[in-house]
Copies of this chain bind each other. A is one copy, B any other.
């Protein structure tokens, strides 16, 4: 938590009361701050700045002297289309993609996505993971997130239309073209399609290719989904 993310604020609002227990706990136990101390804050969808602690207890944190004067960093020109992963790794993936500045995240079904993942209570907590990511990455603007339960219609009806004016890539270990070579020739792609554990099946790679995606490889080493997402998104920093 490198900033404390506050709710959307009214113009000229100069104080606020926080009741989120994770945030209060972080201020008390990790940062070890007390009344009179200053800390870094940001208002959701707004600016970054500082605030001063007026009072803090286990249940409430009162902040005053709100001074929000810095624009959040710009987003990467990047949409990630990610096969819905195991619920256990969803939190860190959403956090990391948010922190690194991905503009848009689309979670899609895939052959290797277990049907049960779509029923996971973790999917209802995505906003919470986004906030964690914003607080990690020192940002205030949530990425756009969409869930697409049907792979084929999404690829044929939506993704295919993007190919007219955006560059699209699917990461696939068996592609003869390396991601490095692709970037040298065409620059950073604006859309990255990344499989979850086990990767895309051949049918999915073919469908993506037939709808405007160039297949690229990052070598024979197979990375955990989180590691692959960060290794690929790291190119945009």
Select one of B101, B179, B231 contacting A233, CB under 8 A: B231
A194-237 interface code vs B (CB 8 A; 1 in, 0 out):
00000000000000000000000011111110110011111101
User: B-contacting residues of A (Cβ < 8 Å)?
Assistant: 2, 73, 92, 95-96, 99-101, 136-139, 178-180, 218-224, 226-227, 230-235, 237
A135 CB to nearest chain B CB (Å) = 10
| Known contacts A96-B227, A100-B227, A230-B227; A137/B235 CB under 8 A | no
Instruction: Say yes or no: A234 contacts B224, CB within 8 Å.
Output: no
Select one of B101, B179, B226 contacting A230, CB under 8 A: B226
21 sample A-B contacts, Cβ–Cβ < 8 Å, listed by A number:
A92-B224, A96-B223, A96-B227, A99-B222, A100-B221, A101-B219, A101-B221, A136-B224, A137-B221, A137-B222, A138-B221, A218-B237, A219-B237, A221-B237, A226-B230, A227-B230, A230-B230, A230-B231, A230-B234, A231-B231, A231-B237
Instruction: Say yes or no: A221 contacts B73, CB within 8 Å.
Output: yes
Where chain A touches its partner, the secondary structure class is helix
Given contacts A96-B223, A226-B226, 8 further A-B contacts (CB under 8 A): A73-B219, A92-B224, A99-B227, A100-B223, A136-B222, A138-B221, A138-B222, A139-B221
Instruction: Say yes or no: B224 contacts A95, CB within 8 Å.
Output: yes
A177 CB to nearest chain B CB (Å) = 13
A119 CB to nearest chain B CB (Å) = 21
Q: Which of A92, A178, A222, A223 has the most CB of B within 10 A?
A: A223
Residues of B within 8 A of A178 (CB): 237
Residues of B within 8 A of A235 (CB): 234-235
Residues of B within 8 A of A231 (CB): 100, 230-231, 233-234, 237
A216 CB to nearest chain B CB (Å) = 11
A26 CB to nearest chain B CB (Å) = 13
| Known contacts A234-B231, A234-B235; A220/B138 CB under 8 A | yes
Instruction: Say yes or no: B223 contacts A136, CB within 8 Å.
Output: yes
C-alpha spacing A189/B237, complex, angstroms: 16
| Known contacts A99-B227, A235-B234; A222/B179 CB under 8 A | no
